[in-house]
Amino acid sequence: LAKTTQPISMDSYEGQEVNITCSHNNIATNDYITWYQQFPSQGPRFIIQGYKTKVTNEVASLFIPADRKSSTLSLPRVSLSDTAVYYCLVGDRRSSGSARQLTFGSGTQLTVLP
């Protein structure tokens, strides 16, 4: 599994754009980059996934440079309710015919301030 490195914590203010960068120098050719969000005492929630260039959905954008050694999750105009832990996941263990096994790291604690 490719190791990921992301900041332990970040602070932002309401209405700002937040960018969380994840480093994954050992990403494999077949690996996708997946981001999850987790609120306290809740299960993580899938946000976005990408392989290269840019992916955008109604919640966030994901920017992946050509070398794919890093990725940036962009949250536009954050609100207080975006305060959560954000996880970057790269690669997964999977034996033939079986389910993918996602491994979560420590994530980035984003705190949005009023």
Partner 1 sequence: ETGVTQTPRHLVMGMTNKKSLKCEQHLGHNAMYWYKQSAKKPLELMFVYNFKEQTENNSVPSRFSPECPNSSHLFLHLHTLQPEDSALYLCASSQVQEREYVFGPGTRLTVL
The count of chain residues that interact with partner 1, using the rule CB under 8 A, is 24
Residues within window 68-97 making contact with partner 1, judged by CB under 8 A: 89, 92, 95, 97
- Residue 82's φ and ψ, nearest 5 degrees, are -85, -5
Interaction between residue 98 and partner 1 (CB under 8 A):
yes
Interaction between residue 106 and partner 1 (CB under 8 A):
yes
Q: What would the DSSP string read from start to end of 47-101?
A: EEEESSEEEE-SS-EEEE-TT-SEEEEEESS--GGG-EEEEEEE--B--TTS--B
Q: Which of 42, 55, 52, 32 is nearest to 102 (CA)?
A: 32
Choice from 25, 79, 101, 111 touching partner 1 (CB under 8 A)? 101
Looking at the Cβ atoms of 42 and 77, the one nearer to partner 1 is 42
Task: Tell me how far apart the alpha carbons of residues 74 and 63 are, in angstroms, rounded to a whole number.
Answer: 8
Closest contact distance (angstroms) between CB of 114 and partner 1 is 26
Q: Which of 66, 71, 58 is nearest to 19 (CA)?
A: 71
Residues within window 41-70 making contact with partner 1, judged by CB under 8 A: 41-46, 49
Choice from 70, 107, 108, 112 touching partner 1 (CB under 8 A)? 107
Which residues here bind partner 1, judged by CB under 8 A? 32, 34, 36, 41-46, 49, 89, 92, 95, 97-107
